[in-house]
Structure formats: C-alpha cells, structure tokens
Amino acid sequence: VAVMALVAQALQLLCANGGCLEQGELQRRLPSRPSMKQLALVLQDAQQFTLVRRPCEAAAAAAAAAAGSGTEVVVVATSPVRLCQEHGAGCDGRCGRLHLCKYHLKGFCRNEKECRFAHNFHSDHNLFVLKQYGLESLNSDELRQLLLQNDPSVLPEVCLHYNKGDGPYGSCTYKKICTKLHVCQYYFRGQCRFGSSCRRSHDLLKSESYEKLERQGLSYNIIEQLPSIYRNMYDIKNGNRNMYDMEDERKHSSSRESSSTNDDELEQICLYHLYKGCGFKDKCIRTHFHLPYRWQVSHGNIWKDLKNMEDVEAAYCDPDYTGIRNIVTEDGYALPRISFLNMCCGFEKVRRLSTASSVTRPPHFILTTEWIWYWKDEYDLWQEYGKKVSVEKWGDSLLCVESADLLRSAQCLYLLCLVTLLLLPPSHSYYTDGLRGLMG
C-alpha cells in the first residue's frame, strides 16, 4: 500500500471516530490491513499523527491488567492546517489557509444566509489548500473534527485562575463575566482522579460554561464532544513528550496552587535585567534580553530571534499595519509576511515577548509596556482612546476613555465596547481583537 494512501486512510478513520483511536484498533479498522510495522512507519509523521499514552478504557482495562499494563497507545489526528484570520478582511487568497466561517465550523452561524464568510469546506480555494495537506478526501464533519482539535484560534481557553484557589470561581476575579471556560482543566485532559467529588466543574451542559459556548456559536452536538476534543488538543500540544502523565505531581493543596508559576511570567522580559541587572541571573523565571520586547518565530521545537526586531516592533505599534514583509531570522533565513492578526508567518507561529504592562507596576518603573487602544471612525481612520475628537454628536466623554483604564480590566473593556457600539452610528467599528503596544 502506498504510504500517502495509508496516511489518508488513517486520518479519515481517526477524524470519523472522534479524532483518535487506540493504535491496535486503528490497525484493525484500516481497509488495507497494514502490518504493525507498516503502520508504525506511517505514524512517525508528527505533522499528521500524535502518539500518546492514556489509561485504558473500561473495555480494554481487564486485558491490559492481565498483560501487566494499565495504559494504551492512542493515535490522535494532527494537522498544521488552520483557518485564515484575514478571511473577509482583504486576504489575497495566497495565505495557504482555509477560508471558512468560524461559527459555521463550530456548528451554528446565526447569519447563515447573509454571512460574508465562506461556509463551503470544499470551495475552490479550500480544496486547493486541502490538497497541499493531503486532506481533500475528508468530508465536512471529518474536517470539522480535525480543525477543532488542532486550530487553537477556534475554541475558548480554559480559565487557569478558576482552577486555582477556593470558592465557586477559584481565584478568577472576573467570575461570571469571564470569557474563558470555568471547568476542571484536568477533566479536559482526562486526568482528574476526583471524579464527581471534584470541586471544579465537569459539566458543560448545565453550567454557565454552556451559555458562553452557545453565545460563541457552538452547537449542542459539538459541546457534548468538547471533553474529548480538548483532551485531543492537550495531547497534540504536548506531543509524544506527554506519553501520559498520570498526574503524579498534581496536588490540590492551596500552598502548591499559590506557588505555581504563571505562564505569562515565563514569557515576560525581566525589568531588573534591563535596568540594573537581575540578582537571580540564570535562575530568573523571566526572560533576560537587551530590549524591552523580543520577536521570535517558531522553528520546530525552538524559537528563533528575528534580526530586524526594531522594524517589526515599529510596524506592530502602528494600527495601520496588519503585518510586515521582508523579515530575516538571526541565522539569515528569509521569511514571508508576518501577520499581526494571527501572529503567524506562513505556517509557523510568531510570538512577541515584552516587559510587564505599565498598569501592573508602580509609576516609577521604567521600560514597562504601555498599551494604547484605538477605534476606527467612519472615514476608516484609527483614533486613539484618550484623545478628543471634534465631532459634537458623539460627545467627548465617550471618546476620552484612557487606554490604561481600558487595559486594567479586559472584561470591563469588552462590556464597554458593546455599550459604545450601540451608542455610536452603525458605520463605526472597534479594534478590539489585537492590542497594539508602544514602549513607555
């Protein structure tokens, strides 16, 4: 059997069965009946498949126990294919990504008949992209499964603050207005050993999470499948390194939770290193770099610095720019256009590390990151919040909200935008999806 044909068969089987199958079960269901050796050779392609070790399901647990093992190897369908974040906003069609309505992908688009985004998984553009990845034989439901568990831009994140601390909302200060999911993160990984006695929510159908998901366009059928989808997402992200951590390290004590390091801090540039020198040196949890920002592109499992960071930063701080071209890495590798909307360069991820936000530090701190918010007027021009606009019918009080005040509460900002959107003429829009920063 040709390797490519076997890859296509395996991916189709996985996507038609919830995005994953136990390795032996996958081999038995493949119509070409490959040997385990042939299948193992195909499954080495990390771009298409992720192998993880999970606890045996109930049906297989007895056999596994007899064999002296309580785990099994599961194959998860993996793909670098993504939705185009600039679809409907001027994409020239050369993005190499799918042009598709994300609400249609999630199961329910309220503007089905008048939606300006594509609803056809197999349009001419999408079929061309799918062929580049060998996915043209997958039907709409199979592609939906593949995208939901691979594209991180589609589904909401789990609130990590909810999973820490005491009380019904953990340490989440936004409580009911939090846009992230208030659900047990270990349940979504298939790792929660507390079951029905867990103090975190395991129920998406009878909780506030259901309302959030429904507002974001997820159908009931998709919501029912979310635990397995998020589990697949987690395993894809952690890859073969995971091979299933049975949560030996997990502790529910508040002391462990309060001392856990926030991922945001790991990606912050150390202010003390920039200013006088950091006493922790190599042991510092923050990044040590000579600039208050750092642009990097993903290359396999490592992040590579960009050579012309100042140019990238200048473009990023200008709301008129949605990307930048002619970028080179430190080792001289030329890159295509970087998109600030989806923080990608071609099929590779791009990230921007920076110092802490100015609103989270005392006023005397220097080299913090000052974020500035903009809105777009009816002449298609960006206007900065905090600066008066001489249009009497809008009223100065509405437009003179300080950027720092907006940033202090992202949730309040979201609600504020909904209110102001109703107050302003329908022709006005707001730049709320991507923050643009200027260094203070």
Report CA-CA distances (Å) from 147 to 15, 19, 79, 92: 10, 10, 8, 22
pLDDT for 249 equals: 36
Spatial neighbors of 87 by CB under 8 A, at least 6 apart, are: 95, 97, 99, 100, 117, 118
Widest pairwise Cα distance in the chain: 79
Helix (H, G, I), strand (E, B) or coil at 136: coil
| Six-digit token string for 368 | 């913090």
User: 10-residue block means of pLDDT along the chain (440 residues)?
Assistant: 84 96 94 88 87 74 52 92 88 91 91 88 95 93 96 92 88 90 90 87 84 90 94 84 38 37 68 81 85 90 89 91 88 87 86 88 79 78 70 45 49 40 37 41
CA 216/CA 85 separation, integer angstroms: 16
Kind and range of the H or E run holding 124: helix 124-132
pLDDT for 266 equals: 66
The model's pTM is 0.55
What crossing angle do the helices spanning 140-150 and 3-15 adopt, rounded to 10°? 80
Q: Which residue stretches of 341-423 are H helix? A: 396-399, 403-408, 410-423
pLDDT for 129 equals: 93
pLDDT for 130 equals: 94
pLDDT for 265 equals: 61
Other CB atoms within a 10 A radius of the CB of residue 223 amount to 18
Q: Which residue stretches of 298-347 are H helix? A: 309-316
pLDDT for 46 equals: 81
Find, among 438, 297, 303, the residue nearest to 374 by Cα: 438
| Six-digit token string for 342 | 């989806």
Q: Listing from the earlier edge strand, what are the strands of the sheet with 374-376?
A: 382-384, 374-376, 429-430
